[in-house]
Copies of this chain bind each other. A is one copy, B any other.
Amino acid sequence: MFEQITILGSGLLGASLAMSIHHAKIAQSITIWARRKETVDLCSSKTWCQHGEENLERSVIGSNLVIICTPVETIGGIARQIAPYLEKGTLVTDVGSVKNQICLDCEEAMKSSEGFFIGSHPMAGSEKSGMDFASKELVNGKSCIITPMKDAPVNYIQKLEEFWKALKMIVFRFSPAEHDRAAAYFSHLPHLLASCLSRHLDTQDPNWKKISGNGLKDTTRIAEGDPLLWQQIFQMNKKEILTSIAGWEKSLEEIKELLKGENKNELHNYLKIGSNFRKDLDK
């Protein structure tokens, strides 16, 4: 499917993708760029990395597909840096959880290059970060949102879709702006609430932790996620996230009123809607 794929960044997602690509046999050669020499050496020792590279520009030369797997704040800058070194027809994508700003920056960067950028967001995170937790199964069966701009050529869009599908992902298309609105509600808000709950419980009597079960653990699991990555995601999508919080606060006010009142049926009904919504998520 590809002669050479370059993965920029060897964290949880970068390394997991290399493993999946290797397993699915869709590239003759995988190059991985990492910032630190020790990481490059570690990657080079793996079966799923044919070439570890410390030099960013050199790492993309000769590749047909470049996947930027670095923290969201760095993606635009990396796109600008690699742009002059891309072969004709190279497809560039990323795995950032925010898309609007990244797509604008990366498409701007590609104007002076032979490559073409389309954003991706594979919905396959974990509260654990780093190569140690990487797995070829991480993306298997998960959703991947691709966010082509209106004028993106069909052949590039198809190539990107085929790539994610070859890794057994379920591919959906959103505009970058709609992705960010939807992600604010369905991904960033849940993370923010989990972080906020963990932050708040940290101020309470530590002895009370004894009264915590799987419910609390599930509800706060994602709060363990890398604080630096999430600080960047929150900052980059803050407008949409603040809107989603404001909307959500109305539902909080509603349940507070129901608690204060004595109408058990209405409270029951509120919880039933939430319960049914959650059941549907597993379908």
User: A residues engaging B (CB < 8 A)?
Assistant: 121, 123-127, 142-143, 145, 172, 174, 179, 181-183, 185-187, 189-205, 207-228, 230-231, 234-235, 238, 241-242, 245, 247-248, 250-252, 254-256, 259-260, 264, 267-282
Q: Considering the complex of A and B, which 4 residue pairs feature the smallest CB-CB distances, nearest first?
A: A198-B274, A227-B271, A123-B213, A182-B208
Contacts beyond the supplied A124-B213, A143-B210, A227-B268: 7 A-B pairs with Cβ under 8 Å: A174-B210, A174-B211, A190-B219, A193-B197, A195-B275, A199-B251, A215-B222
Closest to A215 in B: B222
Q: How far is the CB of A7 from the nearest CB of chain B, in Å? A: 20
Asked whether A223 and B143 contact (CB < 8 A) given A190-B215, A234-B259, the answer is: no
| Contact call A216/B281, Cβ cutoff below 8 A | yes
A sample of 22 inter-chain contacts (CB < 8 A) reads A125-B215, A172-B210, A187-B216, A189-B197, A190-B219, A195-B270, A202-B276, A212-B281, A216-B281, A218-B222, A220-B277, A223-B278, A225-B275, A226-B275, A227-B274, A231-B268, A231-B271, A234-B267, A234-B271, A235-B267, A241-B259, A242-B256
Asked whether A242 and B260 contact (CB < 8 A) given A194-B274, A220-B278, A223-B277, the answer is: yes
Asked whether A208 and B231 contact (CB < 8 A) given A213-B125, A222-B219, A278-B198, the answer is: no
| Contact call A245/B251, Cβ cutoff below 8 A | no
Report chain B residues within 8 Å CB of A256: 242, 245
Q: Please pick, from B174, B209, B259, B278, the residue contacting A238 in the complex, using a CB distance under 8 A.
A: B259
| Contact call B218/A125, Cβ cutoff below 8 A | no
| Contact call A198/B143, Cβ cutoff below 8 A | no
Q: How far is the CB of A23 from the nearest CB of chain B, in Å? A: 21
| Contact call A218/B218, Cβ cutoff below 8 A | yes
Q: Give Cα distance in the complex from A160 to B247, angstroms.
A: 47
Q: Give Cα distance in the complex from A87 to B277, angstroms.
A: 47
Report chain B residues within 8 Å CB of A271: 195, 199, 223, 227, 230-231, 234
Q: Give Cα distance in the complex from A175 to B191, angstroms.
A: 33
| Contact call B179/A214, Cβ cutoff below 8 A | no
Q: Give Cα distance in the complex from A122 to B205, angstroms.
A: 20
Report chain B residues within 8 Å CB of A245: 252, 256
